[in-house]
Amino acid sequence: MIRFLDFSLSFIGLIATFPILLIVTIIGLFDTGSPIFIQTRVGKNKKSFQLIKFRTMGINTKSVASHLANEASITKLGAFLRKTKIDELPQLINVLKGEMSLVGPRPNLFNQDDLIRARDKLGVYNVLPGVTGLAQVQNIDMSTPELLADIDKKMIETLTIPSYFKYLIMTVTGSGSGDAVKPK
């Protein structure tokens, strides 16, 4: 049932937000010259996949978890995209392709060893990663790997259709502040 919801909602979401996607892509060309950001992430069963987002940082920013990146690397457009969570919209393509779910643990980088160990121990990689989830709406990011893995596991064990929609609604209405970055 979740896969059907993921596919249907991401398909509808891509159609409904197409004008936004187009406008952000055009503005992004002027902002960084490369509006789309693709990064290898850890997916279900620890298989890699290419996560698609709008670029929010300068092109030469080091590929690290957001909490390790410096706030100074975020562009003006990027700050707006992060605040509104519009930077996440291209991930609907990942959901449509079956690489992600709308709701699940946020996919991490392969160089986040502490988080990988904590999630592996709790079986978090047995499910598709998600665009949003319990940790995101509670402002728990990847800077606290053990806590994040625990919250991810709790979400996985208690995920129902009503909670799936609850996390989506909370995300769309502004719960959670997005990925934290180091202050300037």
Q: Are 69 and 181 in contact (CB under 8 A)?
A: yes
With CA atoms as reference, report the closest residue to 7 among 126, 98, 90: 98
DSSP code, position 124:
G
Between CA 133 and CA 156 the distance in angstroms is 9
Q: Where are the domains of the chain?
A: 2-172
The one-letter amino acid code at 132 reads T
Q: End-to-end distance of the chain based on CA atoms, in angstroms?
A: 44
138 burial class (0-12, 13-18, 19+ CB within 10 angstroms)? middle
Between CA 24 and CA 41 the distance in angstroms is 23
184 pLDDT tier (thresholds 50, 70, 90):
very low
Q: What pLDDT, on a 0 to 100 scale, did the predictor assign at position 183?
A: 45
- What are residue 183's phi and psi, to 5 degrees? -65, 155
Which has the higher per-residue pLDDT, 47 or 1? 47
DSSP code, position 180:
-
pLDDT tens readout for residues 136-160 = 999 998 889 999 999 999 999 999 9
pLDDT tens readout for residues 57-91 = 988 776 666 655 667 788 999 999 998 999 999 99
Residues facing residue 41 across a β-bridge: 49
19 pLDDT tier (thresholds 50, 70, 90):
very high
Query: 109-131: string of b/e by CB count within 10 Å (b at 16+)?
Result: beebeebbebbeebebbebbbbb
Tokens of 175: 């719960």
Longest dimension (CA), the chain: 44
Q: Are 55 and 32 in contact (CB under 8 A)?
A: yes
Q: What pLDDT, on a 0 to 100 scale, did the predictor assign at position 182?
A: 43
